[in-house]
Chain A
Amino acid sequence: MIAALRALWGAIRNAREWLTLVVVGAIGAWLYVQLAETRADRAQLQAQVNVICASAGSPFAAATVRLTDAKGKTTDVAFARGARCEQQVASLVAFRADTDRTTAEALAAAMREREGKVAVDARAARDAVEALASATKRMEIADAEAQRLNRLDHNWWAAFNDLAGLRDPNR
């Protein structure tokens, strides 16, 4: 047993250069594969980020842009790679949120306003129905009296003015 181990160790020691070469080669191959994968990944991400930024409406590449600052002075602003695109996306997200919020507010306000109107009008309609019923009844009574006497009197005219919504001339 010990003799066999010793023989193996001897073989390894004799072929050390070769073995080292094989190990270094294996590591090199592994690193090469890793690098190739990383490159492909990077290229794909770069292409995709370009497409995404272009569809958001702002390029990904770094650029110097002439802008007007808060005081109204023109300055050249250097944007790092992706900075403009990031700003654009943030602005779009804010725009979307603002739109949703203001739309909801406008619709809620319109609904509240309508509810108030419905309540007020329902009250007015009820009052109108009651007023019409009482005015009609008063007119019927006055008219029956006028027919009986064959004469239009004070009561009939007053009932008529009330029914037609005319102003009382005595007031």
Chain B
Amino acid sequence: MTLPGCATRTVEVPVTREVPPVVKVKDKPPAELLRCPETPEGFPLDQVGQMSNATRAAAIRIGKAMGVNATRLRRLVNWLQPDACPAAAK
């Protein structure tokens, strides 16, 4: 049995371990670009009116494009930041 005082003294030296150069790249766009698409209130339903065929077709074109763009933007934001924009409530 060795008395603790007689044991050979070893100097504990911290061994420097280099940190692996693994860098996780997070290229997150600014918050401005991650905002969900705007969903303004639509036309009042109780309006009765008239519109020429050409104007109606143009309105439908514009409205359709707006809806498609909003859906695509929502998908894009959700891709970059999961579950950030839930699907529009119908």
What are the residues of chain B within 8 A of A154 when measuring CB–CB?
A: 45-46
Distance in angstroms from B48 CB to nearest chain A CB is: 6
A166 to B90 Cα, complex, angstroms: 9
Interface residues of A in 107-126 (CB under 8 A from B): 110, 116-117, 120-121, 124-125
Q: Please give me the residue from chain A that is nearest to B43 by CB atom.
A: A157
Whether the Cβ atoms of A95 and B18 lie closer than 8 Å is yes
Whether the Cβ atoms of A164 and B42 lie closer than 8 Å is yes
Q: In the complex, given contacts A87-B15, A170-B45, what are 11 additional A-B residue pairs having Cβ atoms less than 8 angstroms apart? A: A77-B11, A106-B22, A132-B64, A151-B48, A151-B49, A160-B42, A164-B62, A164-B67, A165-B39, A166-B42, A169-B44
What are the residues of chain B within 8 A of A68 when measuring CB–CB?
A: 13-14
Let me know if A89 is at the binding interface, CB within 8 A: no
Whether the Cβ atoms of B90 and A163 lie closer than 8 Å is no
Let me know if A152 is at the binding interface, CB within 8 A: yes
| Chain A residues in the interface with B (C-beta under 8 A) | 67-70, 75, 77, 87, 91, 94-95, 98-99, 102-103, 106, 110, 116-117, 120-121, 124-125, 127-128, 131-132, 135-136, 139, 143, 146-147, 150-154, 157-158, 160-170
Let me know if B40 is at the binding interface, CB within 8 A: yes
A135 with B53: in contact, given A106-B22, A151-B48, A169-B41 (CB under 8 Å)? no
Interface residues of B in 42-77 (CB under 8 A from A): 42-51, 53, 56, 59-60, 62-64, 66-68, 70-72, 74-75
Whether the Cβ atoms of A70 and B75 lie closer than 8 Å is no
Contact of B79 among A117, A162, A163 (CB under 8 A): A117
Whether the Cβ atoms of A163 and B22 lie closer than 8 Å is no
Let me know if B28 is at the binding interface, CB within 8 A: no
What are the residues of chain A within 8 A of B18 when measuring CB–CB?
A: 91, 95
A117 to B7 Cα, complex, angstroms: 60
Whether the Cβ atoms of B64 and A162 lie closer than 8 Å is no
Let me know if B12 is at the binding interface, CB within 8 A: yes
Whether the Cβ atoms of B47 and A165 lie closer than 8 Å is no
Whether the Cβ atoms of A143 and B60 lie closer than 8 Å is yes
Contact of A121 among B13, B44, B75 (CB under 8 A): B75
A164 to B50 Cα, complex, angstroms: 20
